Structure 1
Amino acid sequence: MTDRYRTLLLLRHAKSDYPTGVPDHERPLAPRGEREAKLAGDWLRAHAPAVNAVLCSTATRTRETLARTRIDAPVNFVDRLYDATPGAVIEEINSVESRFGPDVGTLLVIGHEPAMSSLALGLATADGSNTTAAERISTKFPTSAIAVLRTGEPWHQLGLSGAALVGFHVPR
């Protein structure tokens, strides 16, 4: 990796549907979610560094979100990201080098609320973070929203207050 900074992209799954009798883990995307996931992928390709690796919840709606983004990078589907705490997500991020190797400069994590907003705010340092983005995340982290964080830490050392929140985008 030539850049000493790493980029962490936290993507909440796109809008899901609520079919009768379907367990929460198996809920698919709604038509609006299908459109917004594509928009999220378009935004990532236009505005973020190329994604080198993806950690994705095993829930149907997160898998469908990833597919609709058309992000082409190695993926690990992680059961633990479904109904995860921010600490559990950090532990999964800390394992990136062992999962994907040392050259991951940009990591995409696709998960759920409330973990995505809590994680974005918990990782963000007071210095160097975009306060407007933090305020927006504190108010709401909608479906398909993307928090962008930068860190100088290796993935295995990333912890609370270890990154700068540099952006927040809601594709619509």
Structure 2
Amino acid sequence: MSSAEPRRIVLFRHAKADWPQVADHERPLAERGRMDAAVAGRRLADTGIPFDLALCSTATRTRETWKLAVQELPHRPRTVYEERLYEASPGELIAVLNETSGEARNLILIGHNPGVQGLAEVLTDAADDDARERMSRHGFPAGAFAVLTFEGSWKSLEPGTATLHDYWAPTE
């Protein structure tokens, strides 16, 4: 890839979680979440994005979501399980993304709301009208993902520097 090509980031909210009597961090996926995670993986494969890196929250539900989704991809990217993604605000997520190596062109972040939705909203300056309308209509339910692009280095990623190109949710 040439340096002139934009970087792509996919913001992926974990699939539907169960509510057993365990600490929030340890909540597993519900049966529906396991099905939705696999479907989301197939939809991610359909984007054709060759992910270089996956940043995944350490919470059980995000790890399970990624484990099911990545099986559907033609190429398994390097995965980093990052504690700072759990309960992170959009600003905290940007700080983690700013630390990404310049070698990564295409990244997927598997995290939680409200941080993931907030990050999609704060990063997006421009958008494909259809993707923006679908994201506005559906919000960011469990299992949804947004595809954004931006120019420059990961260190230059900041509010208003990305374009929303695609959005998908299991409810569509």
C-alpha displacement at 1:163, in angstroms? 0.6
Which ranges of 4 or more aligned residues in structure 1 deviate by more than 6 Å?
A: none
Aligned to 2:37: 37
C-alpha displacement at 1:45, in angstroms? 1.0
- For the 8 Å contact 1:124–1:164, the answer to whether it is kept is yes
Aligned to 1:87: 91
- Give distance in 2, aligned partners of 1:62 and 1:141: 15
- Give distance in 1, aligned partners of 2:48 and 2:65: 17
Amino acid in the other structure paired with 1:34: R
Greater Cα shift, 44-53 or 161-170: 44-53
- Give distance in 2, aligned partners of 1:114 and 1:5: 26
Whether 1:131 aligns to 2:135 is no
Amino acid in the other structure paired with 2:145: I
Query: What SS does the corresponding residue of 2:22 show, helix, strand or coil?
Result: coil
Amino acid in the other structure paired with 2:81: F
Q: Number of residues paired by the alignment? A: 165
Aligned to 1:68: 68
TM-score with structure 2 setting the length: 0.90
- For the 8 Å contact 1:150–1:166, the answer to whether it is kept is yes
Amino acid in the other structure paired with 1:6: R
Whether 1:12 aligns to 2:13 is yes
- Give distance in 2, aligned partners of 1:117 and 1:48: 23
Gaps of 5+ in 1: none
- Give distance in 2, aligned partners of 1:125 and 1:48: 23
Q: Deviations over 1:58-101 (max 9, x none)?
A: 1000000010012511111111111000000001111111xxxx
- Pairwise CA RMSD: 1.4
TM-score with structure 1 setting the length: 0.90
C-alpha displacement at 1:103, in angstroms? 2.2
- For the 8 Å contact 1:43–1:171, the answer to whether it is kept is no
- For the 8 Å contact 1:13–1:110, the answer to whether it is kept is yes
- Give distance in 2, aligned partners of 1:106 and 1:154: 12
Gaps of 5+ in 2: none
- The share of aligned pairs that are identical, in percent, is 40
Amino acid in the other structure paired with 1:131: D
